[in-house]
Amino acid sequence: MKIIFILFLLISCSGEKDGGVLTLGMIKGISSLDPAKSFDGKSLKLIAQSYEPLYQYHYQIRPFKVIPLLAEGMPQWNGTELTIKIKKGVRYHDHPAFKGKPRFVKAEDFINQLKRVAYKPLGSPGIHYFDVIEGFEEFSNTANLNGNISGVQAVDDYTLKIRLKRAFPDFIYYLTMHFLVPIPEEVMNMDFEKSVVGTGPFYFSEIKPGTRYVLNKFDGFRKELYPESGDRFANVNKLLGSANERLPLLDGIVFLGFDNQDQIWNKFMAGEIDILEDIPFDRLDSILEKDGTLVDNLEDKGFEIKRFSVLINRWLGMNMRDPILGMNKNLRLAIAHAININAYNKLVRRNSSLQANSILTPGIPGYSPEHQLPYDYNVTKAREYLAQAGYPGGRGLPALTYYTRNKIKTGLIEGKFFRDQLAKIGIRVEIYPLDFSEFLTKGRAGELQLWTDNWIYDFPEASNIFQLLISANIPGINKSGMSNVVFDQKFSELERIKDTQAKKLKIRELIYLFDREVPWVMLSYERSLVLLSRGVKNYRKSGVIRNYFKYITKEK
């Protein structure tokens, strides 16, 4: 009997699904590991496994639902004042600054990070989010990390109070962002690019910038369980099999940096990478049958293809402050009518994306499937607008410059596509390759002329994308440099509205103004196609949930 029992244990352990180390590949170009500065998808994917904000989104419920993470419960609102209780016993990852003792989160630690975000020399993109806090702007203008933000108070070690300058219902979404994670006083002066001290389920054991990031399971992580309920998608796709199991389910994660997508593809096919989150579009024709299923040789290897709707839209950006494009709406309309968006999605996106019909993405309140953009592919109209712009047949128009988002194949293909499209109506385009960090720097400085951009929603509200077009974000995330007083005013009004119907009406007004200005040519709504290797379970991708690796399991 004893032998049988031992055999039973061995068999049970060999089939254990929890644990394992997950290996992923990503294109080099991490902008920052500093939670006050990280704002791109790749950087956030890394730090979100280690740094934790006050709130998160439920992993298995759509529409997205905000739930507590480091907070004990949802905020208590009293007009413009929020009171947030902090969980007790939340331990930081070990660091020499703690002198061998466990360090636990206190309310004051969140204020430390807010000061860092407000500190202008640091250059945090989050500065424009949190200036709604009373005293935040005044503190920011001191260019000094000392002092206090008048609207933020640690009542005690586990109670945080935040006073806003005005009613702002969307502030709850800001509390899910990694601009507001706790930073202990002891590490305020550390190099945040070389060291990560968070509270999350994984800690960084190795940081080799651009090439290798290793995260290990944090044994001191507090008790957090896999969700026991979910929406229809979660149930149909059997994503609740780990319900009530303690997180994280993995032993670790390894992120490897590569120069291009082909290298990542080859590593995945060799079994050295577990998840291919960004399938090269030029590979789709060779891996999918006409019915959308995987070709036989990939199925035989145990690979699975998953399709996810994500809150990401894509557009061709035009600089409204450019002396040629900015003052000439007819020129922008000529460009908009010259782009064959169906051909773009076929060539560049391999028909994996949906053609955009609005600045808003499906799934965002206020999106209308009936909406029509003020342009479509029409070469005759494009030529007419070009003539009205003062450049008949393109005569007299200097060559425009298209800047790529990266120097990999996809970025160059996009550039060549737009160059060829505009050449049909007489507009010359020169391609200027940039890597992603250069693209961000030049874009936020307003130095781009034409470029392709996309937006991964930080939170599921229309205001999150409209903010890319308000004057207050110049220079910064308003790369197009659009400045419209009426748009700014209506955006400010939108942020104050809680009533659903009134919000829809205000969103409609903002969409109208966007369509009238034509700062962007809307291209597509991105869908994420993911390849999973054998044994990877619980994977669900979204545009706004960054800390999803704690839910994933891999058979050992």
For 416-441, write each residue's pLDDT tens digit: 999 999 999 999 999 999 988 899 99
Is residue 202 located within the same domain as residue 154? Answer: yes
Residues 208 and 333 in one domain: no
Residue 328: CATH number of its domain? 3.10.105.10
125: three-class secondary structure by DSSP? helix
Check whether residue 344 and residue 426 sit in a common domain: yes
The CATH number for 198's domain is 3.40.190.10
What pTM, to 2 d.p., does this model score?
0.81
The answer to whether residues 195 and 342 belong to one domain is: no
Residue 238 lies in a domain: no
The better pLDDT of the pair 170, 55 is held by 55
pLDDT value, residue 284: 77
Domain assignment present for 512: yes
73-131 confidence digits (pLDDT tens): 999 999 899 999 999 999 999 999 999 999 999 999 999 999 999 999 998 989 988 99
- Tell which wins on pLDDT, 210 or 185: 185
Residue 332 has pLDDT above 90, yes or no: yes
Residue numbers of the domain that contains 188: 18-233+541-554
pLDDT top residue among 499 and 178: 178
**Mean predicted confidence (pLDDT) in 275-300:** 79
99 burial via Cβ count (<10 Å: 0-12, 13-18, 19+): exposed
Same-domain check for residues 338 and 439: yes
Please indicate, yes or no, whether residues 331 and 203 belong to a single structural domain of this protein: no
Element housing 305 (H / E): strand 304-318
Same domain as 471, residue 547: no
Residue 94 lies in a domain: yes
Assess whether 195 and 330 both reside in one domain.
no
% of the chain beyond a pLDDT of 70: 96
> Same structural domain for residues 212 and 339?
no
Let me know if residue 112 belongs to a domain.
yes
The amino acid at residue 256 is L
Give the residue among 256, 287, 251 at the shortest CA–CA distance from 269.
Answer: 287
Domain co-membership, 109 together with 164: yes
Examine residue 290 and state whether it is found in any structural domain, yes or no. no
Q: Is 246 helix (H, G, I), strand (E, B) or coil?
A: strand
281 domain-assigned: no
Same-domain check for residues 220 and 326:
no
The pLDDT, as a whole number, for residue 19 is 66
Q: Is there a domain that residue 481 lies in?
A: yes
Supply φ then ψ for residue 549, to 5 degrees: -70, -20
Q: What is the tally of structural domains in the chain?
A: 2
Domain co-membership, 227 together with 349:
no
* 260 lies in some domain: no
